[in-house]
């Protein structure tokens, strides 16, 4: 685009001029594997759809623009995007420092796959810059931050973590910094402007936004990093199909409308749940009592729509509650129009060993709410009724509670 436009304009126009052939105002789904070439040895823009596809190119340009980057790469899933970053940057012997309450699938990718190939990982509390500084070694190639984190909504000060990762590195290149921006979205958090080198998305979540497409993306401003990602994307081939790219382009156009409303509903629900007698603790960075409320206010323009809720009565309570809910299906994933409830200990974080889960504070009575776009009164009422209906399931007499199971 010739002028520099603001977010909502960029999300609708960047990478998506009217189709040069027909004038179609929406980028067509180029459902083709290959492209006829004019001559031997020519250098056509498109030659094979793993390498490049016009629908995917529109999505990639659009994603780069909304994150304030220069280069975007779309992948078949968020984990395929994470995998491409690790493959593009790391070799055996390299070291990665990462946030400890990482998305469970990234944790599994790190510890079950890349560790086998000789990459080392230190999982630390990235909300504490001192821990970042002391975890960094001469071989640290990558700092991987996820903020707000999943499912406890811990907020890392991105600037402080980056500064800490560089504080003791005289004569060695600084680690590349990646921020998984899936939870906050580019509407509410701007990692590249805060100094990160790479932004990662599971576009399955808010960018798709309608619970109907799996996808991932990486955005950067750095030419060298872009060349590495482009190479891996083509060399390993975990690319999305054009129909999925089309759905993601459609999602992007309403991203800011949706996430503003998601966040408003979530804040209201978090406030009400915090005062609910059947609820233990509520983890939501928009609540003044959240330990990272201040940094969330400075770093994000809203607090997102994921809420962690510790229920009275532990895992038995969660089990009893689920059948009573009508508007909160028990399901993995998040970030869509439909509200979802998940139990991290047995679902998203089942791949994290029980001791590790306990160490980082993911209790067995913790549920994670992904707040959708239904009416807030209906959402609250459904939870409130289910909590009331299951109150008896935790009213265990003290004498019985003392007997070990
Ligand atoms: C879902 C998710 C991923 C993985 O994305 P997929 O599209 O499921 O592969 C990575 N990071 C975060 C924060 C996520 O929520």
Cα 206 to ligand 1 centre (Å): 11
Is the separation of the CB atoms in 278 and 319 below 8 Å? no
CATH topology of domain 255-389: 3.90.1150
pLDDT of the residue at 192 = 98
pLDDT of the residue at 169 = 66
Quote the tokens at residue 276: 């609910």
Residue 256 to residue 165: CA distance in whole angstroms: 32
The boundaries of every CATH 3.90.1150.10 domain in the chain are: 255-389
Helix (H, G, I), strand (E, B) or coil at 8: helix
Q: Which of 74, 76, 82, 103 to mutate to test the pocket of ligand 1 (most atoms within 8 A of CB)?
A: 103
Cα 107 to ligand 1 centre (Å): 11
pLDDT of the residue at 396 = 53
Q: Shortest CA distance to 96 belongs to which of 135, 129, 127, 134?
A: 135
Closest ligand 1 atom number to CA of residue 215: 7
As a three-state string, the secondary structure of 125-160 is: CCCCHHHHHHHCCCCEEEEEEECCCCCCCCCCCHHH
Quote the tokens at residue 323: 């059948």
Tell me, using a 6 A CB cutoff, whether residue 105 lines ligand 1. yes
Cα 204 to ligand 1 centre (Å): 7
CATH code 3.40.640.10 for 7-253 = yes
Closest ligand 1 atom number to CA of residue 335: 15
User: Alpha helix (H) ranges present in 237-324?
Assistant: 242-253, 255-274, 293-299, 314-321
* DSSP assignment of 297-322: HHH-SS--SEEEEEETTHHHHHHHHG
Which residue's entry shows tokens 């290149």? 173
Tell me, using a 6 A CB cutoff, whether residue 203 lines ligand 1. no
What are the 10-residue block averages of pLDDT along the chain, 405 residues in total? 88 94 96 96 94 98 98 98 98 97 92 97 97 96 97 96 88 92 98 98 98 98 98 98 98 98 98 96 97 98 97 93 97 97 91 84 94 98 97 61 41
38 to 35, 45, 55, 353: CA distances (angstroms): 10, 11, 21, 56
The boundaries of every CATH 3.40.640.10 domain in the chain are: 7-253
pLDDT of the residue at 7 = 96
Tell me, using a 6 A CB cutoff, whether residue 181 lines ligand 1. no
Tell me, using a 6 A CB cutoff, whether residue 103 lines ligand 1. yes
Q: Which of 63, 78, 180, 334 to mutate to test the pocket of ligand 1 (most atoms within 8 A of CB)?
A: 78
pLDDT of the residue at 395 = 60
Give all strands (DSSP E) within 277-393, no chain letters.
Answer: 279-283, 306-311, 340-342, 366-370
Is the separation of the CB atoms in 123 and 129 below 8 Å? no
As annotated, the active-site residues are: 50, 103, 180, 205
């Amino acid at each position: 685009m010739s002028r520099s436009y603001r977010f909502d304009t960029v999300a609708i126009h960047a990478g998506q001029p009217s189709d040069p052939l027909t004038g179609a105002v929406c980028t067509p789904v180029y459902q083709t594997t290959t492209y006829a070439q004019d001559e031997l040895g020519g250098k056509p823009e498109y030659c094979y759809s793993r390498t490049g596809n016009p629908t995917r190119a529109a999505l990639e340009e659009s994603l780069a623009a909304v994150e304030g980057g220069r280069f975007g790469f779309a992948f078949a899933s968020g984990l395929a995007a994470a995998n491409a970053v690790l493959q593009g940057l790391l070799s055996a012997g390299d070291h990665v420092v990462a946030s400890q309450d990482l998305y469970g699938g990234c944790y599994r990718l790190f510890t079950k796959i890349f560790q086998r190939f000789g990459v080392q990982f230190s999982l630390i509390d990235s909300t504490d810059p001192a821990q970042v500084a002391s975890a960094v070694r001469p071989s640290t190639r990558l700092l991987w931050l996820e903020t707000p984190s999943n499912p406890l909504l811990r907020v890392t000060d991105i600037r402080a973590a980056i500064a800490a990762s560089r504080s003791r590195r005289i004569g060695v290149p600084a680690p590349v910094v990646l921020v998984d921006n899936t939870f906050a979205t580019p509407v509410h958090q701007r990692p590249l402007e805060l100094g990160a080198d790479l932004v990662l998305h599971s576009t399955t979540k808010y960018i798709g936004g309608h619970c109907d497409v799996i996808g991932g993306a990486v955005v950067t401003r750095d030419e060298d990093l872009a060349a590495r990602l482009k190479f891996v994307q083509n060399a390993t081939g975990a690319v999305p199909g054009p129909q999925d790219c089309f759905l993601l382009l459609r999602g992007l156009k309403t991203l800011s409308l949706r996430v503003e409303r998601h966040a408003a509903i979530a804040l209201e629900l978090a406030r009400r749940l915090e005062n609910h007698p059947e609820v233990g603790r509520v983890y939501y960075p928009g609540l003044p009592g959240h330990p990272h409320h201040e940094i969330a206010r400075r770093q994000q323009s809203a607090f997102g729509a994921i809420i962690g809720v510790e229920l009275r009565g532990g895992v038995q309570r969660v089990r009893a509650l689920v059948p009573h809910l009508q508007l909160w299906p028990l399901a993995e994933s998040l970030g869509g129009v439909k509200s979802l409830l998940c139990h991290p200990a047995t679902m998203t974080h089942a791949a994290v060993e029980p001791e590790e889960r306990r160490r980082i504070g993911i209790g067995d009575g913790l549920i994670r709410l992904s707040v959708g776009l239904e009416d807030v009164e209906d959402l609250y009422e459904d939870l409130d009724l289910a909590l009331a209906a299951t109150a008896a399931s935790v009213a265990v007499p003290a004498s019985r509670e003392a007997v070990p199971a």
